Amino acid sequence: MIVMNVVIRADASVQIGTGHVMRCLTLAEQLKERGTDVAFICREHEGHLCEFIRDKGFHVFALPGKDVKINEPRNTHEKWLGVPQERDAAETIEVLKTIRPDLLIVDHYGIDHIWEQTIRPYVHNIMVIDDLADRPHQCDYLLDQNFYEQMNRRYDALVPRHCSLFLGPKYALLRKEFRQTDTRVRNQLNHVLVFFGGSDLSNETARALQAIQHIKSRTLTADVVLGKNNPYKDELKARYAEDERIHFHIHVDYMARLMNRADVCIGAGGSTTWERCYLGLPTIMMTVAKNQEEIARDLSENGIVHYLGKKEDVTPEMIAQSLEQLIQHPDQLRQYSQKSVKLMEKKEMHMENLFQTILQKGDHSH
């Protein structure tokens, strides 16, 4: 049997967060289950996850952590690369020359068609994972797992004609722990999950905890998940040490269990949105990045999440009011839960189609 070689180019850092690497690890695990060899190329930024990826059983080719001033960035996030795209491409090519992968997967907002075109001679096929639709790509497959009213038109002028598109939450990259956890429709609010991603640099967690303390109900309890890159974790644990209703968890590998136990989540947009929807967990959502806003508005207009607005506009009082509303109106909680589940229907079938397509041997580039 011919084994396919896949290489993934993705980074984590304090600035970027952990989401890109985490969803690529999810994809890597599923590719490995299908008999594929998978390796990563990551730059060693502050807050990188190279060791974490190695601990999961994947080889990592580490690029040196740099922070070179990029004088004229070609796209909004090029500075996230730490070096100009041309340099990143040259350093990546040195790795690719030794592997010649069948498939290169790129999940990086700092990379666009120029980088991909430079890399093209060293790979058979290129797959891009994107959320922004804000720059052109030179790729054979593109995955955007987000929900937009106009999602089928967003990439029309941004990818080559031959590119296969996989769009919407039915293609969301969910870890095995989620796929193996039963969906549950919520009927009553007793237990809250608070999670704002791996870094939470603006400390939205503190705001959510203030809101929970506003709620008079002694039966309301909360699990609070803090990433290992969270700079406020010790301060938060100390501040709420006396509150028996609040339990802290640091950099967990049992998130599906915590989500399944919760009746509502207070959290941001981003990739955990689809994990919550898959498990039928309603969300009181605020956005912490510009690229989350349109998705949050569209989900809200479709009655799938309870969206409060951008982080700078949301107060602890607003969060507390939303909690009270869902405690007093369990029918609203149930509706959010049912609509979340419906959004993710037949997901396994769609994912199987994705894997069959991207694991075909041969050169699709034109």
Report all structural domains of the chain as residue ranges with CATH numbers, in order of start: 5-172+346-358 (3.40.50.11190), 178-343 (3.40.50.2000)
Q: Residue 228 has what pLDDT?
A: 83
Q: Is the separation of the CB atoms in 203 and 288 below 8 Å?
A: no
- CA distances from residue 324 to 21, 212, 294 in whole angstroms, order as listed: 36, 10, 26
Torsion angle, alpha carbons of 67, 72, 73, 74, to 10: -150
Is 324 annotated to bind a ligand? Reply is no
This prediction has a pTM of 0.86
d(CA 174, CA 339) in angstroms, rounded, equals 18
CA 6, CA 29: separation in Å to the nearest integer?
12
Average pLDDT per consecutive 10 residues, the chain (366 residues; last block may be shorter): 89 90 96 97 95 98 84 81 94 96 97 97 97 95 94 94 96 94 95 93 96 89 93 96 95 94 96 95 96 94 97 97 97 98 94 95 56
pLDDT given for residue 363 in this prediction:
58
Q: What confidence score (pLDDT) does residue 146 get? A: 94
Q: Quick one: pLDDT at residue 1?
A: 54
Predicted local confidence at residue 71, as pLDDT: 72
Annotated binding-site residue? 175:
yes
Element (H, E) at 85: helix 85-99
Q: What angle do CA 51, 231, 42 make, to 5 degrees?
A: 30
The residues carrying an active-site annotation are 20
What is the pLDDT at residue 251? 87
Specify the pLDDT at position 366: 46
